[in-house]
């Protein structure tokens, strides 16, 4: 299969840094061969072992994310790799529609989006390799090898073409198993070949769906990259406007909006201010929205495709049954 080349960033990566401690370490760019289909130019350095620094091209499996120095080693590995899907529980499966033919693909493919929850403690090597790979396209933090306290939610695309089924990892987000600061997301990244297709919004929507199912509210870990900040602002506006539209009334309670969206009060209020929906009365912030004014904002943001996750595709589970 001919490899598709994806160069350096034309915009910031779609996400916040991987589970780690903040540090500004851009490092050198390098070429990587990812599986049998992609040749990428990395954006930032990652904490691969020192003996791999001398390799001008790093070869990485697109299924288990094992890294190698030589192309021949990668070819042998790909023929033997048993990691057909991410390890862990499948939380989401949307079978979608056949894809459209392209110049590279003359026959449509049946494809589905699936999300797996990977426990960093139970699948330590996979989690470490995934975080190392993700850091190649993330700024501001260094990778931590102590991933026992993290879950990884890995988005994949499963497609069938000419009778052959394959699974491609598109990106992931991670979250701490227990966060004292209400963080429902530590890191999010969509890999370069798959950016600009709405996958980041899908992952953000899952993070808030998990938060609501836990019965709480959450917020992403800061700092956010410029691209992630834009993605979150877009998502927050859709979430808040959708909640307001669902329960149309003249006055709204902040705690009700938090419960409906899974967002923290600070994030809800920041979003309302940006939407211009907060007025001040007797030195107090009051949310009072004329129906026509609300509808104009809803029309501009377009909430017709919100929520992004399809409820029928989400596994029916309780939190205790997901990760024993």
Beta-sheet strand order (sheet of 150-161) = 89-94, 110-119, 150-161, 164-176, 187-190
In contact, 141 and 105? CB cutoff 8 Å: no
pTM: 0.84
Please state, for a pLDDT cut of 90, what percent of the chain lies above it: 54
The confidence score (pLDDT) of residue 66 equals 97
Residue 126 has pLDDT above 90, yes or no: yes
Binning pLDDT at 50, 70 and 90, where does residue 282 land?
low
Burial class (CB in 10 A: 0-12, 13-18, 19+), 189: buried
Q: Are strands 57-60 and 89-94 parallel, antiparallel or unpaired?
A: unpaired
Active-site hit among 221, 229, 246, 250: 221
CB 208 within 8 Å of CB 256: no
Give the span between the Cα atoms of 262 and 212, in whole angstroms: 5
Count CB-CB contacts under 10 A for residue 278: 16
The phi, psi pair for 142, rounded to 5°, reads -105, 150
- Mean pLDDT for the stretch of residues 111-137: 95
Q: What does CATH list as the number for 4-224+309-322?
A: 3.40.630.30
Cα-Cα end-to-end distance for the chain: 41
- pLDDT, residue 78, reads 95
Q: How confident is the model at residue 232 (pLDDT cuts 50, 70, 90)?
A: very high
More confident residue, 251 or 121: 121
Residues 230-301, CATH architecture = Orthogonal Bundle (1.10)
Residue 255 confidence (pLDDT) above 60: yes
β-strand pairing of 110-119 with 150-161: antiparallel
Q: Give the pLDDT band (50/70/90) at residue 111.
A: confident
**In the prediction, which pLDDT does 253 show?**
79
For the chain, domain boundaries: 4-224+309-322, 230-301
Q: Which of 156-165, 175-184, 231-240 has the lowest mean pLDDT?
A: 156-165
Tell me the per-residue pLDDT of 22-66, one tens digit each, with 9 for 90 and over.
333 455 678 999 998 899 999 988 989 999 988 889 999 999 999
Residue 250 designated active-site: no
Least confident of 5-19, 77-91, 187-201: 5-19
State the alpha helices, DSSP H only, in the chain: 71-80, 124-135, 199-213, 226-246, 254-261, 265-274, 291-301, 319-322
Structure tokens at 91: 């939380």
């Amino acid at each position: 299969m001919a490899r598709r080349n994806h160069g350096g960033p034309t915009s910031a990566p779609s996400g916040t840094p991987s589970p780690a401690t903040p540090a500004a370490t851009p490092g050198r760019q390098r070429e990587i061969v990812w599986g049998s289909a992609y040749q990428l130019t990395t954006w930032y350095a990652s904490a691969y072992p020192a003996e791999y620094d001398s390799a001008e091209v790093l070869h990485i499996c697109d299924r288990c994310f094992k890294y190698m120095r030589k192309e021949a080693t990668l070819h042998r590995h790909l023929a033997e790799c048993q990691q057909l899907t991410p390890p862990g529980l499948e939380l989401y499966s949307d079978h979608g529609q056949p894809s459209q033919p392209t110049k590279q693909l003359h026959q449509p493919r049946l494809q589905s989006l699936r999300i797996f929850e990977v426990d960093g403690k139970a699948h330590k090597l996979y989690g470490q390799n995934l975080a190392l790979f993700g850091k190649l396209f993330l700024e501001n933090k260094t990778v931590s090898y102590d991933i026992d306290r993290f879950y990884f939610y890995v988005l994949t695309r499963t497609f069938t073409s000419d009778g052959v089924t394959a699974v491609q990892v598109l990106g992931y987000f991670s979250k701490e198993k227990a966060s004292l600061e209400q963080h429902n997301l530590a890191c999010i990244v969509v890999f370069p070949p798959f950016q600009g297709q709405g996958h980041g919004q899908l992952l953000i929507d899952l993070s808030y769906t998990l938060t609501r199912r836990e019965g709480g509210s959450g917020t992403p870990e800061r700092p956010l990259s410029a691209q992630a900040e834009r993605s979150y602002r877009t998502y927050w506006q859709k979430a808040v406007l959708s909640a307001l539209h669902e329960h149309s009334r003249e006055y709204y309670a902040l705690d009700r909006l938090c419960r409906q969206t899974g967002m923290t009060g600070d994030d809800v209020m920041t979003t309302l201010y940006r939407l211009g929906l907060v007025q001040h009365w007797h030195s107090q912030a009051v949310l009072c929205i004329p129906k026509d004014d609300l509808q104009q904002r809803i029309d501009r943001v377009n909430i017709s495709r919100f929520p992004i996750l399809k409820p029928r595709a989400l596994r029916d589970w309780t939190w205790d049954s997901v990760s024993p």
